[in-house]
Structure 1
C-alpha cells in the first residue's frame, strides 16, 4: 500500500507541474505573439497520459472519495441536463417537505416521467439546508406519494441515489424512519410502471434502497453502493473508524464489484477524474440509457413489469 500511495502522490505532483507549465506557455504565447503550439500540445499529451495513469485501477476507497466529491453532479444537475421540462413537487401531505429528496414530473424525449432523487448541496450552506442528502421520513413519504401518483397516470419512474444514508436523528426515529423505508420497499416492489434506478454518488444503506427497488439498476463508474459506510463498518469490525480504507477493500461496494455479483445491470463510464469533470457527457449517457430501457418496456403489460422486477431481486445472491 505504501509504494502505491507514493506513486499516486508522485503522479499528482507531476500533473500539477504540467498544468502550471501549460498555463505559463499559453500566457507567454498570447502575450508575446509566439507560436508555441507544438510545445503546448506535447505537454497536453503528457498530461492526458498522466491523468489516465492516475485514474486507472483506482482502489475502492479512492472511488469512495470521488463519489463524495462536493463538485460531483447532483440529481438536480442531471434533471436539468436530461429533461426538456421539469415541474418539482413538494411535501408528503403528512408533515412537511424534505429538501434532501427532490421529485417531480419531467419530459425526456417522448416520455413523460416521474423523477425522484437524493439532493446534496454544492456548498456548506446548501448542504445544511439539504441535510447532506440524508432524508427524514417525510422525504421517503414524499417519494412514495410521487411514485403512487406516477403509477396512477402511467408514468415511468426514474430515481437517482446519492446519500450517505437515512438521517438517524432522534426526531427522524420518532416520526417513523424505519417504517417509512420499509413501506417504500414494499410499495415499490408492487408498482406497475417501469422503475429505472441510477446510483450517481454514494448509495448508503436503507437510505439508498428506499428509492432503489427498480426494474433496472445502473451505477456511474465511480459511485458506490453498500449496506453501511466504510467508516461505519471499520468502527464495528476493527473498533477504529480510521481503518475505512481497509474496510473498503472487503466491502464489494464499487460498480464493478456489484456488476460482477449481478446486483446491478449496467455501468456508465465516467470521464477521467469523475462525472464532475464533464457532467454533460455523463448526462447524455444517462438519458440514452433511460430512453433505451423505456423503449424496451413500452410493450410490457403491468403484470410483466411487476414480474420482471420481482424475478430480478429473487436472482440476487444465486451466483454466490
Structure 2
C-alpha cells in the first residue's frame, strides 16, 4: 500500500476525473456480464446497475452503484445518487441470487441516495430500510466493496454483507464531509476540515471494526493503474468467496447470525440505569406545566 494520506487528500483522489468506476471494473473483473433492468414496480434507475456474471467460473450476481465518467454519463446516472427504484432493482436481483444460490457482489460508490421530492414520494427511505432488512437475512453469501465514496444510507443499502472491503483511498461515512460541515459549523466550505476529523478512511474503519479488509490501489490512486487495482479487487473476491462458501456449507443459520452480529457490534455506546420513577413523574409533571 502507498504511504498514509490524510482523509482530505484521499477525498481529492476519489474525486479525480479519471478514477475508475464500476463501469470500468465490471468487464475487467467479471466475464459474461448480462445486465438486467427495472424494479418491476416503477422503472429503471441508471445509478444502480446489476445482473448475472461469471467470476472464475462461478455464477454470481453483480450489483453496482454507478458514477459517470463525463457530464453526459453523470446526467444519465444522476451523478451516482440512486432513486428508490434503483434500490428496489438491487433487492429484486438479490432475491433472485438467493433463489438460484448465486453469491452477491456489491460495488458501492455514491455520495448518497438522491434526496429529491420525487424520490421521497416514491419511498426513498422505505426502499433503503427494506434493503438493509432483507440483505441482513439473505440466504446466500454477500460481499460489498467500497470503490470511492460510501455516503450514508445510500451506501449502506448495498453494504449489508458478510465481508466488507474498501479500496485503499475510499471513504465511508454516515454523512458527506460537506453535509457534516454544513450542519455542525453552518459552513460547507469547511468540508476538508470535516473530512479529517470524521474517521472515515479505510484505516479508521478497520480499527472501528466497520470494514474487514483494505484493497491496495496503484500508487497515487486507482486512476494511475486501473488494471492493477482490478486485479487486487479480483484477488480479494476470490479469497472471500472461498471463505464464505466454506462458512455457508457449515450452516446457513450460522452464516446469517454472523452477518447480523457483525452489524450489532458496530459503534460504541453506554447504557445508563433507569432513573427513579418518582423523579420521572416529577419531570413529566413539570413538563406539562410549561
Instruction: Look at both structures and tell me which one has the larger radius of gyration over its CA atoms.
Output: 1
Structure number with greater CO (CA < 8 Å, separation at least 6) is 2
Listed one character per residue, the Cα deviations across residues 58-79 of structure 1 (whole Å, up to 9, x for unaligned) are 2211111211222111112111
Aligned residues: 267
**Structure with a larger share of its residues in helix:** 1
Which residues of structure 2 form unaligned runs of 5+?
A: 271-290
Partner residue of 1:209 out of 137, 151, 156: 156
Is residue 213 of structure 2 the alignment partner of residue 269 of structure 1? no
Partner residue of 1:281 out of 214, 217, 228: 228
Is residue 188 of structure 2 the alignment partner of residue 241 of structure 1? yes
Normalising by structure 2, report the TM-score: 0.89
Q: Secondary structure at the match of 1:140?
A: helix
For the residues of structure 2 that align with 1:213 and 1:79, how far apart are their CA atoms?
20
- The alignment's C-alpha RMSD in Å is 1.5
For the residues of structure 1 that align with 2:18 and 2:221, how far apart are their CA atoms?
10
1:107-186 matched pairs, under 5 angstroms: 107-186=54-133
The Cα shift of 1:304 comes to: 2.2
- Aligned 8 A contact 1:217 1:265 in 2: yes
Listed one character per residue, the Cα deviations across residues 13-35 of structure 1 (whole Å, up to 9, x for unaligned) are xxxxxxxxxxxxxxxxxxxxxxx
For the residues of structure 1 that align with 2:76 and 2:212, how far apart are their CA atoms?
33
The Cα shift of 1:138 comes to: 0.2
The Cα shift of 1:307 comes to: 1.4
The Cα shift of 1:110 comes to: 2.5
Listed one character per residue, the Cα deviations across residues 228-252 of structure 1 (whole Å, up to 9, x for unaligned) are 1111110111110001111112100
- Aligned 8 A contact 1:140 1:181 in 2: yes
The Cα shift of 1:290 comes to: 0.9
For the residues of structure 2 that align with 1:232 and 1:318, how far apart are their CA atoms?
22
- Aligned 8 A contact 2:30 2:53 in 1: yes
Which residues of structure 1 form unaligned runs of 5+?
A: 1-51
Partner residue of 1:223 out of 166, 170, 177: 170
Residue 316 of structure 1 aligns with which residue?
Answer: 266
- Aligned 8 A contact 2:141 2:245 in 1: no
- Aligned 8 A contact 2:47 2:77 in 1: yes
- Aligned 8 A contact 1:70 1:121 in 2: no
Please list every run of at least 4 consecutive aligned residues from structure 1 whose deviation after the TM superposition is greater than 4 angstroms: none
The Cα shift of 1:318 comes to: 5.5
